Chains A and B, each alone.
Chain A
């Protein structure tokens, strides 16, 4: 643990004042405000696809925050996974099902107050936790502190167990998704040339009901 603390740099309360922020901190705060704004617009807009695109802005802003904290590798992974894959998947789903241009009046839910309460509660928990954990400690943001090498060393030297546990969790999610997406009714025969799928199904159905 002491090695970890040493590797993470000094977490001592800093002999620094909050009243004279550096340029980096000012930019960090500004980007943070932009991310918050984009996130709020993303959940309040009535236009479905615009919500997904505002999500792009919010997640991209988060990547910029990681960059400002010198965690370059994490920033690019954020862009790769969230912007490149998750948002594309969301847009794909929207376009595949329904993606009206303009406002969709039914994009509203009676649960929105409950959702707001849950969101505020979880945000309050996280903020309290983080503030209590770090208080007024300063992390050294010298160049290279969050480089790929440093990140790799943290992940595979100090945090191997959580990392592997997470991958097991993802595997479980993957298997679950496969199980959910297969319907348990048994497979239909593959359609052959010159034979309609519907005809095959109706021919088989009476036999199956007789068996039961």
Chain B
């Protein structure tokens, strides 16, 4: 019974992992198009091009899988898996609704989530190095530099929420949420979401894959299904970062009728944040490498420290 329950939860997470990124990807196609005065995909599947990403997937699967002759073949092949799997594991720990509506309840949830997300970047590094291509190597380097700068503010912002809730378990944090946490943790939410965007290398933080200077960064040499896996990991990352921000800062399942409709509020908030991610991509130009670093070290980290101090003061004052 227990084993069956675990298996069912894992399968449900896997289904969510395969469906939600595609939904976000399709939304990105349509939202970006409409923001730029276009229509976006209109033909695949009939109704407003809903099957565009399915068609894309079929196209990727049919392409030839090329490994450059100078590449380190084994690492080149493993890299997409290393980039993609961490997001699947993280999705397992994100609570959707109250009363155990979560893939697996993990005691040190925040740490698990942040630790495992950090591994995903190893995939980009491996891809960048193993391709034997100078653009890939540059992309890998930029990825590493960006990750190391932005992981610190992300951790500090998450630590602030953990302090406020008095627990490091994700369902525990959502349980402890009150509406006045929104203004209290607003700075932390901004820092966390921005640093999360940077870890995903989404615009305006997409210097590591800047297509106008270094082709496609670490993924330049990839084709077919392996390239699709990297793209999938980017969209899975959007789902994960939006979901985490929802759980940590926006109160997860809190809303009208949390017991019956809790999962709906979590999903709605997650998709609202995913919309913001797409919106930012269309709105802002790419940051230059030095601007990117300066933003992390001189804006985000001080802000995260301010939030940490604020959380501590108020926590002591109300207890």
Contacts and interface: CB of A to CB of B under 8 A. Distances in A.
Contact of B122 (A87, A101, A102): A87
Nearest to A88: B144
Given A76-B115, A88-B147, A95-B140, A49 B129 contact: yes
A8 B151 CA distance: 34
Interface residues of A, number: 27
Chain B interface main SS type: helix
A87 B116 CA distance: 14
B144 A95 contact: yes
A145 to B, nearest CB: 11
Chain A interface main SS type: helix
A92 interface: yes
A70 B108 CA distance: 12
A95 B140 CA distance: 8
Interface string A52-82: 0100100000000000000011001101100
Interface in B134-170: 137, 140-141, 144-145, 147-148, 151, 155, 168-169
B126 interface: yes
Interface stretch (B22-30, B70-78, B190-198): B70-78
Contacts of B108: 72-73, 76, 147-148
B222 to A, nearest CB: 16
Contacts of A31: none
B148 to A, nearest CB: 6
Contacts of B72: 49, 101-102
- Count chain A CB atoms within 10 A of each CB in B122, B128, B137 and give the residue with the most: B122
B293 interface: no
Contact of A85 (B118, B140, B145): B118
B126 A95 contact: no
A73 B111 contact: yes
B106 interface: yes
B123 to A, nearest CB: 11
Given A79-B119, A80-B111, A101-B72, A91 B125 contact: yes
B144 A49 contact: no
Given A88-B148, A92-B148, A101 B70 contact: yes
B98 to A, nearest CB: 21
Contacts of A37: none
B20 interface: no
A84 B151 contact: yes
B121 A88 contact: yes
A198 interface: no
A73 to B, nearest CB: 5
Interface in B100-125: 106-108, 111-112, 114-116, 118-119, 121-122, 125
Interface string A112-148: 0000000000000000000000000000000010011
What 5 pairs between A and B have smallest CB-CB spacing? A84-B118, A80-B115, A76-B111, A79-B115, A92-B144
Interface of A: 49-50, 53, 56, 72-73, 76-77, 79-80, 83-85, 87-89, 91-92, 94-96, 99, 101-102, 144, 147-148
10 contacts: A50-B75, A53-B126, A79-B116, A83-B118, A85-B118, A88-B121, A89-B144, A91-B144, A92-B145, A101-B70
